[in-house]
Structure 1
Amino acid sequence: MKKVLILLMTVSLFMSCDSDSTSNENNLANGAKIGSTFDSMRQKALIEMNQGGTIHYSPDQGAVYKLRNGTTIHIPPHSIVTKDGAEIDGPITIDYIEIFRKEQMAIANTPTMGQVPDSEQKDLLVSGGEFYIDIKFNGEQVEIIAPVKVNIATSNSEADPNGMNLWNGETDNNTNNFTWNLADPNDLIFEGSGPVFGGEGNAGGFYDVLIQNSSSLGWCNIDKFAQFPDPKTRIRIIVPNGFDQTNSSVYLAVRNQPNMLARFDMFYPSNNVFEEHYGLVPVGLDCHLIFVGEQNGQYVYSILSTAIGNNATYSIPSGSLITASSYHQVENAISILP
């Protein structure tokens, strides 16, 4: 397992942030590989989601980067240095992506699957916000020597903010499955005592996340386990011929739960089946089974809404596939699900 970083690509970002920030042509940090056209399409979507830009940082004044939706990134004075320990005084590049809803998770392939502590089991999480952050100076990632704070409004997510924990995102190089692991408190913590704290200009209603060191740059998450009742069941999905784990994914969304998404993480080529093998959801729960794939360089998708049967198998007929003009069309189709 390794920390997920975004593919190294160049993109022009035209953002309206605080008065000190500027439009910038950014390079996103890379730890992932392009293995298929589908991977490449996902990476391009992630680049479009990047809300970062360039801002001036001085060691005496620090820097503050503000987003339109209320998120603020505080980089205090004397909190970042170069890899060789030199002070930074000049323009720094911030890459920042925020994901709050299931349709964004499906496009970015960042489902809310959390590793259960002291277990091989993974379980479904409900998210108060996923975010990716990287900070560079002269094209190189900075060293964090004093905590950098990300201040996120709880109103961006419909999830109950109480009881949230912090997680780091990791991917398995062999399966490309994305998993959230509880963050080490030496790396990533909430500021203060408790999950929700007062933010700038607001008496409460913010998550104040402190990034303690550079090892936690990358994907982070504010989540808690969904805690569905037993009995739970395993589910299988038969996908159309020509699709497998390299050019498609199958997800499970729960009715009336916009802030969570499970991924069917095992593929069996002998019968063209994706399987969710941990048993995440209770029998009878109303869910949406979401197929997203790539065909001839375009997105295709299909959505099946059903109450989950015990040890059930479902099929995605080839005739149900809809070709999308862009990933935004796929997002829209998922976003309108009840």
Structure 2
Amino acid sequence: MKKHNYFTSLLFAGLVAMGSVSCDDNNDDASPVVIKPGEDDKISNVHQDQVAALKQTFTLDAAGGEIEGEDGTIVSFYANSFFKSNGDAVTGNVTIELVEIYKKSQMLLTNMTTQGIDASGNIAMLISGGEFFVNAKQGDEQLVLHGTFQIEAPADKTGGIDQDMKPFMGVEQCEDGVCKNVWRQQDRDMKIGQTTYNIFQNQFGWTNIDRWYSDPRPKTTLFVDVPEGYDNTNCSVYLSYDGEPTALASFDRYDSATALFTEHYGQVPIGLEVHFIMVSVIDEQWYYAIRPATIGAEHVETFTELQPTTEAALIALIDALP
């Protein structure tokens, strides 16, 4: 937990302690520099910029056709699918926007984690077969879909075909002024082939291919203590499930009274092998910490320092997790 005399103790002791970020990991004689995010270091802006960086755009005739993303996702549109908001049919060229997310690092950078709203209304863990944003515009005008379009996702991007996969739709959920995406299962057609998942979607926006994570062990609630000066406005905290390359949960609840992050409903199995991840961006510089752990009852994980890194190095670290 936080200590009110923390920074004073750090300065006098000269040790790497809570809230410190090392200037040079390779220089044992370097004094640690205490660094905290500034008022302009909003982590939500960073995540939005990451989504924008992944967005691909294509030009398609409104008469129909298909586009293929860089990672092999194929999106197909039928004839007469595009309409204006006033009901007029669209002719000519339209712009298709596509975001493909198959890797854990992409989920983390964009904050598009794999948590869904289950039948009881609780937030529960999902295993993803790919996350996709699809949209259509003509000029600056947002278009409306008539009918359906098809998303064909290569299963080899997420470990191969899983017959339990279902379609989910992204839903924005806001709490205390902080908004994030969660997934709600859809009653939609989905075909599972030998090498691809095929979803027939009836609205633009975020789509996810998922199955519910299942573990019979007793469950518990997790808490994460972060260094002084960090909160849900300037950092993000995640839980990576070992052995599940497309399972990433976020600690999207922050209690300002206790200065602790937590997840929602105590659904994490006791005994589960995981990695806790904390990231922040300060003056356009990424900082991170990763801690392996075995979940215990009422588990509290404490981060004591962050290390500077590049975006490329952070991506490699996240995708190398077990």
Instruction: Using structure 1 for the length normalisation, give the TM-score.
Output: 0.78
1:182 and 2:185 are equivalent in the alignment: yes
Distance 1:230 1:255 in 2: 16
Per-residue CA distance 1:121-176 (angstroms, 9 max, x = gap) = 21100001111111111222222222211111111212652111111112223332
Moved more, 227-236 or 153-162: 153-162
Determine what percentage of the aligned residue pairs are the same residue: 28
| 2:196 alignment partner in structure 1 | 206
How many aligned residue pairs are there?
Answer: 281
| 1:332 alignment partner in structure 2 | 316
Higher relative contact order (CA 8 A, sep 6+): 2
| 1:157 alignment partner in structure 2 | 158
2:137 is matched by which residue type in structure 1?
Answer: K
1:180-259 alignment, distance < 5 Å: 180-183=183-186, 185=187, 188-190=188-190, 195-197=191-193, 204-212=194-202, 216-259=203-246
1:67 positional shift: 2.4
Superposition RMSD on alpha carbons, in Å?
1.8
**Equivalent of residue 75 in structure 2, options 73, 76, 81:** 73
| 1:86 alignment partner in structure 2 | 88
| 1:26 alignment partner in structure 2 | none
Structure 1, unaligned runs of 5 or more: 1-34, 198-203
**Kept in 1: contact 2:123–2:264 (CA 8 A):** no
Per-residue CA distance 1:42-98 (angstroms, 9 max, x = gap) = 22211111122223x143xx1211224322111111222222233322221111111
CA distance 1:209–1:280, shift in 2 (3 Å): same
| 1:96 alignment partner in structure 2 | 98
Distance 1:110 1:58 in 2: 30
| 1:296 alignment partner in structure 2 | 283
1:253 is matched by which residue type in structure 2?
Answer: S
Distance 2:201 2:138 in 1: 17
1:316 positional shift: 0.3
**Equivalent of residue 296 in structure 2, options 309, 318, 322:** 309
| 2:18 alignment partner in structure 1 | none
CA distance 1:58–1:237, shift in 2 (3 Å): closer
| 1:4 alignment partner in structure 2 | none
For 1:173, what is the secondary structure of its paired residue?
strand
**Kept in 1: contact 2:125–2:249 (CA 8 A):** yes
1:140 and 2:141 are equivalent in the alignment: yes
CA distance 1:239–1:58, shift in 2 (3 Å): closer
1:297 positional shift: 3.3
1:72 is matched by which residue type in structure 2?
Answer: I
**Equivalent of residue 113 in structure 2, options 102, 111, 114:** 111
For 1:246, what is the secondary structure of its paired residue?
coil
Distance 1:159 1:274 in 2: 34
Per-residue CA distance 1:189-239 (angstroms, 9 max, x = gap) = 32xxxx403xxxxxx321111122xxx311111111111122011111100
Structure 2, unaligned runs of 5 or more: 1-39
2:215 is matched by which residue type in structure 1?
Answer: F
For 2:258, what is the secondary structure of its paired residue?
coil
For 1:243, what is the secondary structure of its paired residue?
coil
Rg larger in structure: 2
**Kept in 1: contact 2:160–2:195 (CA 8 A):** no
**Kept in 2: contact 1:126–1:159 (CA 8 A):** no
Distance 2:303 2:70 in 1: 39
**Kept in 2: contact 1:238–1:272 (CA 8 A):** yes
